[in-house]
A and B are shown apart, each in its own frame.
Chain A
Amino acid sequence: MQTSFTPDQLRDPAITAADEILRKCVHCGFCTATCPTYVLLGDENDSPRGRIYLIKDMLENDRPASDAVTRHVDRCLSCLSCMTTCPSGVNYMHLVDVGRQRIARTGRRSAADRLLRWLLARVLPSPERFRLALLGARMARPFAAFLPGRLKALVKLVPPAARTAILEPRVFPAEGVRRRRVALLAGCVQQVLDAEINAATIRLLTKHGCEVVVAEGAGCCGALAYHLGREEEALAGVRSNVRAWIRERTARGLDAIVINASGCGTMVKDYGFLLRNDPELAPGAAEVSALARDVTEVLAAVGLKAAVAGAGTTVAYHDACSLQHGQGVREAPRLLLQGAGFEVRDVPEGHLCCGSAGTYNILQPELATRLRDRKAANVDGVGADVVAAGNIGCILQLAPAIGRPLVHTVQLLDWATGGPRPRVLDQANWLN
Chain B
Amino acid sequence: MPRVVIPVRCVKTDMRMPVPDTPTIARRQQIVGALRRIVPDGVIADEAAMRPYECDGLAVYRQIPLVVVLPSTVEQVSAILRYCNANNVKIVPRGAGTSLSGGALPLADAVTIGLGRFNRILEIDWDNRCVVAQPGVTNLAITNAVQHRGFYYAPDPSSQIACSIGGNVAENAGGVHCLKYGLTTNNVLGLQIVLPDGEVVRVGGRHQPEGEGYDLMGLLTGSEGLLGIVTEVTVRILRKPETVRAMLMGFASNEAAGDAVAAIIGAGVVPAGLEMMDRLAIHAAEEFVHAGYPLDVEALLIAELDGPQAEVDYLVERVAAIAARCGAACVRVSASEDERLRFWAGRKAAFPAVGRISPDYLCMDGTIPRRRLAEVLARIRALSEKHGLRVANVFHAGDGNLHPLILFDANRPGELERAEEFGADILRLCVEVGGVLTGEHGVGVEKRDLMPVMFDEVDLEQQQRVKCAFDAGGLLNPGKVFPTLHNCAEMGRLRVSGGQLPFPDLPRF
Cross-chain contact of A88 among B60, B116, B352, B411 (Cβ < 8 A):
B352
Chain A residues with CB under 8 Å of B44's CB are 43, 45
Does residue A86 face the partner (Cβ distance < 8 Å to B)?
yes
CB <8 Å contact, A26 and B352: yes
CA distance A338 to B385 in the complex (A): 55
Question: CB-CB < 8 A to B118: which residues of A?
Answer: 42
**Within the complex, what minimum Cβ distance (angstroms) separates B408 from chain A?**
10
Of A28, A34, A66, the residue contacting B352 (CB under 8 A) is A28
Stretch at the interface among A46-54, A215-223, A393-401: A46-54
A24:B356 contact, CB within 8 angstroms = yes
18 A/B residue pairs, CB under 8 Å, sorted by A: A1-B359, A2-B12, A2-B60, A2-B410, A26-B354, A26-B361, A28-B57, A30-B159, A32-B96, A39-B119, A41-B117, A43-B44, A43-B70, A54-B49, A67-B48, A68-B49, A88-B352, A89-B355
B392 within 8 Å of A (CB atoms): no
Residues of A within 8 Å of B51, CB to CB, are 53-54, 57
Check if B55 is an interface residue, CB within 8 A of chain A.
Answer: yes
**Which 8 A-B pairs give the minimum distances between C-beta atoms?**
A42-B116, A88-B355, A2-B410, A42-B117, A87-B352, A50-B52, A87-B349, A26-B355
- Say yes or no: A1-B59 contact (C-beta < 8 A), given A33-B138, A42-B116, A88-B356: yes
Select which of B57, B59, B114, B288 is within 8 A of A44 by beta carbon: B114
* B352 / chain A contacts, CB cutoff of 8 Å: 26, 28, 30, 86-88
Interchain CA distance A45-B51 in the complex, whole Å: 9
Given contacts A42-B72, A87-B351, 8 further A-B contacts (CB under 8 A): A2-B411, A26-B354, A29-B163, A41-B117, A44-B114, A47-B52, A54-B49, A68-B48
Smallest beta-carbon distance A7→chain B, Å: 13
Give chain B's interface residue range (CB within 8 Å of chain A): 35 or more
Which among B114, B159, B161, B360 is the interface contact of A2 at CB below 8 angstroms?
B360
Known: A30-B162, A86-B352. A44 touches B117 (CB 8 A): no
Bound Cα distance A88, B352 (Å)? 5
Interface bits A50-86 vs B (CB < 8 Å: 1, else 0): 1001100100000000111100100000000000011
Main secondary structure of the interface of B (DSSP, over half): loop
| Chain B residue, CB-CB nearest to A69 | B48
Q: Could you tell me the distance between the alpha carbons of A253 and B412 in the complex, rounded to whole angstroms? A: 50
CA distance A43 to B44 in the complex (A): 10
Indicate if A3 sits at the interface (CB-CB under 8 A). yes
Contact (Cβ within 8 A) B359 A38: no
**Minimum Cβ distance to chain A for residue B176 (Å):** 16
A45 touching B57 in the complex, CB below 8 Å, given contacts A1-B360, A24-B359: no
Say if the beta carbon of B305 comes within 8 Å of chain A.
Answer: no
Q: CA separation between A266 and B289, bound complex, in Å? A: 22
| Interfacial residues, chain A to chain B (CB-CB below 8 A) | 1-4, 23-34, 38-39, 41-45, 47, 49-50, 53-54, 57, 66-69, 72, 85-90
Q: Which of B53, B57, B118, B352 has the most CB of A within 10 A?
A: B352
Does A87 lie within 8 Å of B353, measured CB to CB?
yes
User: Which one of A33, A53, A87, A90 lies within 8 Å of B96 (CB-CB)?
Assistant: A33
Q: Which residues of B contact A29 (CB under 8 A)?
A: 56-57, 96-98, 159, 162-163
The docked-state distance in angstroms from the alpha carbon of A49 to that of B222 is 26
Count of CB-CB pairs between chains A and B under 8 Å: 122
Q: Shortest distance in angstroms between B309's beta carbon and chain A's nearest beta carbon?
A: 28
Bound-state CA distance A28–B157 (Å) is 13
- If A1-B360, A42-B70, A87-B349 touch, whether A49 touches B52 (CB-CB below 8 Å) is yes
Q: How many Å from the CB of B359 to the closest CB on chain A?
A: 5
Given contacts A29-B96, A33-B96, contact A54 B411 (CB under 8 A): no
Contacts of B70 in A (CB 8 A): 42-43
User: A44 touching B52 by the CB < 8 A rule?
Assistant: yes
Shortest CB–CB separation between residue B198 and chain A, in angstroms? Answer: 22
Which A residues touch B162, using CB under 8 A?
Answer: 28-33
What residues of B have a CB within 8 angstroms of the CB of A42 in the complex? 70, 72, 114-119, 136
Q: Contact check, B411 vs A3: say whether CB atoms are below 8 A apart.
A: yes
Separation of A49 and B352 alpha carbons in the complex (Å): 13
CB-contacts of B385-444 with A (<8 A): 410-411
Q: Name which residue of chain B comes closest to A29, CB basis.
A: B98
Q: Is the CB of A54 within 8 A of B52?
A: yes
Task: Look across to chain B and name the residue whose beta carbon is closest to the beta carbon of A50.
Answer: B52
- Asked whether, in the complex, the Cβ of B57 is within 8 Å of the Cβ of A27, the reply is yes
In the complex, whether B140 has a CB less than 8 A from a CB of chain A is yes
Report Cα–Cα, A243/B289, bound state, in Å: 37
Cβ–Cβ contact A85 & B117, under 8 A: no
Please give, as numbers and ranges, the residues of chain A lying within 8 Å of B356 by CB-CB distance. Answer: 24, 88-89
Tell me if B338 counts as interface (CB < 8 A to partner A).
no
Nearest-CB distance from B227 to chain A (Å)? 24
Q: A1-B59, A1-B359, A33-B140 are known contacts. Are A26 and B114 too (CB-CB below 8 A)?
A: no
Cβ of A216 to closest chain B Cβ, rounded Å = 41
Residue among A26, A31, A49 with the highest chain B CB neighbour number at 10 A: A26
Looking at the assembled complex, report how far the CB atom of B62 sits from the nearest CB atom of chain A, in whole angstroms.
Answer: 10
Q: How far is the CB of B346 from chain A (nearest CB, A)?
A: 10
- From residue B148, how far is it (CB to closest CB) to chain A in Å? 9
Specify which chain B residues have a CB less than 8 angstroms from the CB of A31 in the assembled complex: 162
Please indicate the chain B residues that have their CB under 8 angstroms from the CB of A45 in the complex.
Answer: 44, 49, 52
State whether the Cβ of B46 lies closer than 8 Å to any Cβ in chain A.
Answer: yes
**Contact, CB under 8 Å: B351 / A26:** yes
Select the residue from A31, A45, A69 with max chain B CB neighbours within 10 A: A45
Give A47 to B161 CA distance when docked, in angstroms: 14
